[in-house]
Amino acid sequence: MNTYLRELTVQFAKFGVVGVIAFFIDYGLFLLMDYVFGVNYLVASAISFTIATIFNFVASMRYVFAGKEGQTRMQQFVIFFVLSLVGLGLNQLILWACVDLLALLAWVGKLVATVLVMLFNFVTRKVFLEDRSPHRG
């Protein structure tokens, strides 16, 4: 396995660990708000997604992605936030389609949306937030 592929695999594994934790935050809060407190599933999803995204930013920039040279933390956060808003839009659209168009249960739709948005997040964060210069020993 070449060095780049090995580094990409390790990075994706770290992204996965951070993502699993963020998933439990997102999904746990979603279930709590929707099924225990009766909050509308789209509102519950937006709130839980936002809280998980804040955690994800902090953990991702610390453990997963090497920030681009010349970007301040504030610039990174703004880029992360904008990408996350797009991710939230995709999440809500997919969740709505699963529940209202496909008649799936909300918890199933949330799982489908989470997996698809995770792939979007990895690719876009890698492109817009990571320094792609040669490996820094």
Give the pLDDT of the chain (137 residues) as one tens digit per residue. 688 888 888 888 898 899 899 989 999 999 999 999 999 999 999 999 889 988 988 898 888 877 777 888 888 888 888 998 899 899 999 999 999 999 999 999 989 998 899 889 888 988 888 766 554 44
89-123 burial: b if 16+ Cβ within 10 Å, else e = eebbebbbebbeeeebebeebbbbbbeebbeebbe
What token pair was written down for 67?
């920030």
pLDDT score, position 133: 59
Gap between the Cα atoms of 123 and 29, Å rounded: 25
pLDDT score, position 137: 41
pLDDT score, position 17: 92
pLDDT score, position 131: 67
Residue 116 belongs to what H/E stretch? helix 106-129
pLDDT score, position 30: 94
**End-to-end alpha carbon distance in the chain:** 18
In total, the chain counts a number of residues equal to 137
